[in-house]
Amino acid sequence: MAWDNHFLGSLSAADAARLEPDLREIELQRNQVLDEAGRAVTFVYLPVDCILSVLTVMKDGAQVESRTIGHESGYGLLQALGSPMSYERTIVQVPGRCWRLPLEALRRAAAESLKLREIIVRHAQASLLQAAQSTACNTLHRAEQRLCRWLLLSQDRLRSDVLPLTQEHLAIMLGVQRTTVTATASNLQERGMIAYSRGRIRILDRPALERCACECYQAIERGAALMLGEADAAKREPAA
Using H for helix, E for strand and C for coil, what is the string for 120-133?
HHHHHHHHHHHHHH
Q: How confident is the model at residue 235 (pLDDT cuts 50, 70, 90)?
A: low
Residue span of the structural domain in which 237 resides: 126-240
Same domain, 105 and 205: no
Task: State the CATH number of the domain containing residue 230.
Answer: 1.10.10.10
The per-residue pLDDT for range 101-130, each reduced to its tens digit, is: 999 999 999 999 999 999 999 998 888 888
Total count of domains within the chain? 2
Q: How confident is the model at residue 240 (pLDDT cuts 50, 70, 90)?
A: very low
Task: Please check whether residue 163 lies inside any domain of the structure.
Answer: yes
Same domain, 222 and 151: yes
The per-residue pLDDT for range 8-43, each reduced to its tens digit, is: 999 999 999 999 999 999 999 999 999 999 999 999
Task: Please check whether residue 119 lies inside any domain of the structure.
Answer: no
| Residue ending a domain, choose from 87, 112, 137 | 112
Overall average pLDDT of the 213-240 stretch? 73
Three-state SS for 35-104 is ECCCCECCEEEEECCCEEEEEEECCCCCEEEEEEECCCCCECCHHHCCCCECCCEEEEEECEEEEEEEHH
Overall average pLDDT of the 135-140 stretch? 83
CA atoms within 13 A on the CB side of 85: 4
Q: Which of 29-33, 98-102, 157-161 is least confident? A: 157-161
pTM of the model: 0.87
Same domain, 87 and 151: no
